[in-house]
Structure 1
Amino acid sequence: MSRKATIGDVAKRAKVSPTAVSRWLNGGLELPEATGARIRNAVAALDYQPHAQARRLSKGKAEAIGIVVPDISNAFFALLAGEAERIAVASGHDVVIWSSRNRIERELACFDRLRAGYIDGLLLITNHEDDGRLAERIRSMPGRVVIIDEDVVGSEAPSFFVENEFGGYEATRHLIEHGHRRIAHIGGPKGVMSAIERARGWRRALSEAGITPETQWHVFTEYEVEPATRDAVQLFALDPLPTAIFAGSDAVALGVMTQARRRGIAIPEDISLVGFDGMPINDLLGPPLTSIAQPIDDLGRRGAERLLAMINGEPFEVTRTRLPVELVTRASVAAPRKEKF
């Protein structure tokens, strides 16, 4: 097998120094046309292929960003990361996507790669309450991190969220307008911003309608189908049953649907259900799921655009941007039955 050509081989053939070849290939050196042509011809003749990482590091940038998601198998996070990746690739950046499994140790490891220069910036999507370590890492790397979807308290980084409380309020108002009063809520993990805010909207809508929720009407779970299926058992053990449920995410709503199906409880004939996310699959569910739709593409796009702008040296402010949500009605809500279970 023939030896791969080196930058020294190119320099020798073009009759220039290896430094001149490197700088010319990276666009950092202007040479007379004849000299540039010699280098170009030498590269072609020798089939020289510069080492991408070495070339990037020589320019002081990795020309790559990282995206941290809690679980890449979760469709919401996959769609969000996919849009951010599209924007980054269009700008000439490579993208590394890490699935943290929602473990802080795995998230912190991504910051080690950022510090080592393997990536230029990080889009962070976390889904748990911080113990202070994430915020500390983010503060130590100003201008290199953007937070999406969930807050990291004390992080001092640009962030993009949605109007969680308004979404929780609208979902619950929609159920109240259909005549429901026993409206339970199965939301995200305790201490997570989105779960706190969506539950706050649920409580506000109930309060305005003169409804005082019982403690057991509120159940906490993870934003995943399997734990939501397990934890939804608590709602189906209530006596009397709620006539409606507001789920803190569409994945959680799928867990509720699974439990209802196991018990022969029909949606929406027996229990109405509203989710939160607005996933494309909602139209295909049985029944199609009414949900609060988040602008998932906009979250990914705006987060990536802000990060790339910071990497390129544009001035930035530590802002918290809220994007709007909207209620998308389908077939999972109906008026409550008159008889009790």
Structure 2
Amino acid sequence: MANLQDVARAANVSKTTVSRYLNGSLDLPARTAGAIDEAIRKLSYVPNAHARRLSLGRSDTVALVVPDIATPFFATFVAAVEAEADQRGLTLSLHATLNRPDREMSYLDHIRQGHADGLIFITNHAGDAGLVEKINAAGPCVIVDEDVAGTCVPKLFVDNETGGYLAGKCLAQAGHRHVLFIGAGEQMLSGARRFAGFRRGLREGAVGDLRIERHCGSYTLETGREAARAFIAQGAERPTAIFASSDEMVIGLFEVLHAVGISVPHDVSVVGFDDVGPLHLFAPGVTAVRQPVRRLGKRALECLLDFKPGEPGTLPEEELLPVTLIERDSVAPPI
């Protein structure tokens, strides 16, 4: 393929002259301009838009780092960011880390080398000092969904505590006093806030003594399965209701409960969180706290483009998007 130097040589002008002519910063005599146009036509020269953007100090590319792209939550989030980027004439550079710290660090180094104008970053594990340092040095960046404590960038989350509160109050009002929470541990912002809200909702809505059990793990099918096996092993001492705080956990939970003939909600009530997967197609449909995932993706890009590093007050340090409880048929009074 012909390059800028080939065009300059064919038109008998300098490479700089061709470049400035093409970007509109130089007026040339008609004869010279015609020679450049003729050279471009003969050589079938196509300007390198990426190189031009880099010469102007930008790439018009946004980097998106996510733990996974296989789950409904992250697939929907990525699609929403992609759609918003397309509306703004931007390219999205997607990096799936498999939730591995080494891959996160590698991608952050790549992005820092100037391959993107900004970064939307999601992790699904607790951060450390090394991750904090790299994010703070990455340039324009927005952290979404899960916090990396110590980072000095805008942060966009859903209202996890209110989500937990809605789940707890729903179960308490149905008469449940012995309940199980399945979710992340205290080291994760989402896990800590969902559990705090869940406990508050139960205490406000319940009459009498409460017993709250907690099974901590990652937001995966396997954690849901593990929690279900532990629940089954309790026999007659089992909780009467479960709050499984992700779609993946709900799916793993139902898989194991169904295999041993435990019926929802006859034997145990269940409330989920996310409501991005097809929880309405379960038998019964699962009551769940719904995250506004598409809005989360759109707003993440808006926040990134509005962020001006070094200008305090440009954006709030933390922004919360509201959640809603979608009631279906998986909650009933305990027998």
Q: Tell me, yes or no, whether TM beats 0.5.
A: yes
Residue of structure 2 in register with 1:201 after alignment:
197
What is the number of equivalent residue pairs in this alignment? Answer: 331
Per-residue CA deviation, residues 106-140 of structure 1 (Å, 9 max, x unaligned), is: 11111111211111211001111112222111222
Corresponding residue to 2:223 among 198, 204, 227: 227
Per-residue CA deviation, residues 260-301 of structure 1 (Å, 9 max, x unaligned), is: 111100111211111011215122222221110111111111
Corresponding residue to 1:260 among 254, 257, 279: 257
Determine if contact 2:228/2:257 at 8 Å carries over to the other structure: no
Structure 1 residues 95 and 327, CA gap change in structure 2 (3 angstroms):
same
- What are the within-5 Å matches in structure 2 for residues 251-330 of structure 1? 251-310=248-307, 316-317=314-315, 319-330=317-328
> Could you tell me how far apart the structure 2 residues matched to 1:193 and 1:261 are?
31
Per-residue CA deviation, residues 149-192 of structure 1 (Å, 9 max, x unaligned), is: 01111101001111111110111111111222222111124411
In structure 2, the residue corresponding to 1:97 is in which secondary structure? strand
Determine if contact 1:186/1:220 at 8 Å carries over to the other structure: yes
**Pair 1:59-2:56 in alignment:** yes
Structure 1 unaligned runs (5+)? none
Determine if contact 1:157/1:318 at 8 Å carries over to the other structure: no
> Could you tell me how far apart the structure 2 residues matched to 1:332 and 1:246 are?
11
Residue of structure 2 in register with 1:146 after alignment:
142
> Could you tell me how far apart the structure 2 residues matched to 1:79 and 1:101 are?
17
Per-residue CA deviation, residues 13-45 of structure 1 (Å, 9 max, x unaligned), is: 4443211222343x3613248355553443233
Structure 1 residues 156 and 222, CA gap change in structure 2 (3 angstroms):
same
> Could you tell me how far apart the structure 2 residues matched to 1:40 and 1:269 are?
77
Determine if contact 1:246/1:275 at 8 Å carries over to the other structure: yes
Residue of structure 1 in register with 2:132 after alignment:
135
- What are the within-5 Å matches in structure 2 for residues 59-208 of structure 1? 59-142=56-139, 144-208=140-204
Structure 1 residues 152 and 286, CA gap change in structure 2 (3 angstroms):
same
Structure 1 residues 326 and 214, CA gap change in structure 2 (3 angstroms):
same
Structure 1 residues 92 and 267, CA gap change in structure 2 (3 angstroms):
same
Taking structure 1 as the reference length, the TM-score comes to: 0.89
Corresponding residue to 2:43 among 43, 46, 53: 46
Determine if contact 1:120/1:311 at 8 Å carries over to the other structure: no
Structure 1 residues 126 and 334, CA gap change in structure 2 (3 angstroms):
same
Residue of structure 2 in register with 1:17 after alignment:
14
> Could you tell me how far apart the structure 1 residues matched to 2:29 and 2:260 are?
78
Determine if contact 1:88/1:308 at 8 Å carries over to the other structure: no
Structure 2 unaligned runs (5+)? none
Q: Report the residue type matching 2:150 in the other structure.
A: G
Determine if contact 1:168/1:199 at 8 Å carries over to the other structure: yes
Determine if contact 1:66/1:123 at 8 Å carries over to the other structure: yes
Determine if contact 2:265/2:329 at 8 Å carries over to the other structure: yes
Range 229-238 or range 178-187, more displaced: 229-238
In structure 2, the residue corresponding to 1:245 is in which secondary structure? strand
Residue of structure 2 in register with 1:244 after alignment:
241
Q: Report the residue type matching 1:183 in the other structure.
A: V
In structure 1, the residue corresponding to 2:115 is in which secondary structure? coil
In structure 1, the residue corresponding to 2:62 is in which secondary structure? strand
> Could you tell me how far apart the structure 2 residues matched to 1:219 and 1:64 are?
40
Determine if contact 1:71/1:102 at 8 Å carries over to the other structure: yes
In structure 2, the residue corresponding to 1:10 is in which secondary structure? helix
Offset, 1:52: 4.4
In structure 2, the residue corresponding to 1:170 is in which secondary structure? helix
Q: Report the residue type matching 1:253 in the other structure.
A: V
Offset, 1:319: 1.7
Determine if contact 1:64/1:121 at 8 Å carries over to the other structure: yes
Offset, 1:230: 2.4
Offset, 1:146: 0.5
Residue of structure 1 in register with 2:332 after alignment:
334
Determine if contact 1:20/1:29 at 8 Å carries over to the other structure: no
Per-residue CA deviation, residues 180-227 of structure 1 (Å, 9 max, x unaligned), is: 222211112441100110011111122232565546x11012111133
Per-residue CA deviation, residues 55-100 of structure 1 (Å, 9 max, x unaligned), is: 3322222221111111111110111121112112222221111111
Determine if contact 1:148/1:303 at 8 Å carries over to the other structure: yes
